[in-house]
């Protein structure tokens, strides 16, 4: 039996639900008999049934010794929003399960496999493990590092500026670049910004896309307690106000929530603060070919660049007239 091709299929069926299951991982499951897939199931929405449960529910024939299960991620063994999948698998009579990757969540982390093995089920693991981890990189990062993955997004003029000093509002990048930003927002569990950005720019900061998704939570770093909740920023999703100035404490607070990834969209001062505290795993820059000139605010002090913060250029390509560059540590 070609477990690699079966795992490819399990991964494939999980992907359409990327934006609906977050912050949970994408998970796909199959039940196979010989070389034939007889049932498929996916985790389809956050808080909903897990892939294994949906796979059993879709099965139209009784389980025999010939049936095996393929699952992209180790089955859970704890009570969360749903019950343990291990109990359902054991009760089903399945004798062998093929798993892509262990679950890094400390609540699972090998205990699911152990429970299955203790029940006499043969477990094969590590099939396309790297692909499963890459598919769910934010989920794995959070549980392996104890904090969410942090992305910083900036829009820069050709001369490295953020905005005009007089506070006048103007689009730096093209419409297509701004549309691309919506996809980045959609991938993240939270968007973080500062009070000055909300006051000066009046942003919506939601993911405006043409597909269903769990909108990212908004996190506003501010010492201001009273806000006009009717402005656009406070619409479309939950907003947390955090007055703490120590960014490590801020991230530790966020890490206690079901948030695996944070997108920082803020002005130069807050962006530089995150960079100086080494709280950035990926930096995305959209650079316009146009200059803003001397009467504008630079992203970096003393003409220092992104390279000062030990980033490496991962990729770079054009969107309309702009250059999108992705930097990673």
- Name all domains of the chain by residue range, CATH numbers in brackets: 3-139 (3.40.140.10), 147-328 (3.40.430.10)
For the residues 204-210, what does the mean pLDDT come to? Answer: 95
Active-site residue list: 52
pTM for the predicted model, two decimal places: 0.94
- The closest of 264, 294, 291, 290 to 279, measured between CA atoms, is 264
Q: What single DSSP character describes residue 185?
A: H
Q: How far apart, in whole angstroms, are the C-alpha atoms of residue 187 and residue 310? A: 25
Provide the terminal-to-terminal Cα distance of the chain, rounded to the nearest Å. Answer: 39
Tens digit of each residue's pLDDT (9 = 90 or more) over 288-319: 999 999 888 999 987 678 888 999 999 999 99
Rg (CA), the chain: 23
Do 163 and 297 meet the contact criterion of CB atoms below 8 Å apart? Answer: yes
Q: What single DSSP character describes residue 47?
A: T
- For residue 305, what pLDDT is reported? 80
Distance, CA of 242 to chain centre: 21
- 202 vs 10, which has greater pLDDT? 10
Is 80 exceeded by the pLDDT of residue 81? no
Is 90 exceeded by the pLDDT of residue 216? yes
Q: What single DSSP character describes residue 64?
A: -
Q: How far apart, in whole angstroms, are the C-alpha atoms of residue 260 and residue 296? A: 34
What SS3 class is residue 317? Answer: strand
């Amino acid at each position: 039996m070609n477990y690699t091709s079966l795992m490819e299929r399990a991964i494939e069926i999980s992907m359409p639900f990327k934006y609906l299951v977050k912050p949970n991982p994408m998970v796909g499951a199959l039940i196979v008999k010989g070389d034939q897939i007889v049932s498929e199931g996916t985790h389809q929405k956050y808080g909903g049934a897990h892939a294994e449960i949906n796979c059993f529910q879709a099965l139209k024939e009784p389980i025999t010794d010939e049936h095996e299960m393929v699952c992209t991620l180790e089955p859970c063994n704890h009570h969360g929003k749903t019950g343990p999948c291990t109990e359902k698998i054991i009760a089903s009579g399945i004798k062998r399960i093929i798993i892509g990757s262990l679950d890094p969540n400390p609540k699972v982390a090998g205990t699911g496999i152990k429970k299955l093995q203790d029940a006499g089920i043969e477990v094969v693991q590590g099939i396309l493990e790297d692909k499963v981890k890459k598919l769910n990189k934010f989920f794995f990062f959070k549980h392996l590092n104890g904090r969410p993955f942090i992305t910083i997004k900036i829009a820069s003029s050709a001369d490295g500026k953020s905005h005009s000093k007089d506070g006048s509002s103007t689009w730096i990048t093209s419409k297509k670049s701004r549309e691309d930003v919506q996809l980045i927002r959609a991938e993240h569990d939270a968007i973080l910004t500062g009070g000055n950005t909300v006051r000066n720019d009046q942003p919506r900061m939601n993911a405006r896309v043409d597909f269903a998704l769990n909108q990212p939570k908004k996190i506003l770093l501010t010492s201001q307690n009273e806000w006009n909740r009717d402005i656009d920023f406070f619409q479309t999703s939950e907003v947390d106000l955090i007055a703490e100035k120590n960014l490590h404490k801020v991230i530790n607070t966020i890490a206690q929530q079901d948030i695996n990834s944070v997108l920082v969209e803020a002005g130069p001062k807050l962006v530089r603060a995150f960079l100086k505290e080494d709280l950035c795993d990926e930096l995305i820059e959209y650079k316009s070919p146009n200059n803003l000139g001397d009467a504008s605010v630079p992203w970096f002090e003393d003409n220092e660049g992104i390279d000062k913060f030990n980033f490496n250029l991962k990729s770079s390509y054009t969107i309309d007239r702009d250059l999108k560059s992705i930097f990673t540590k």
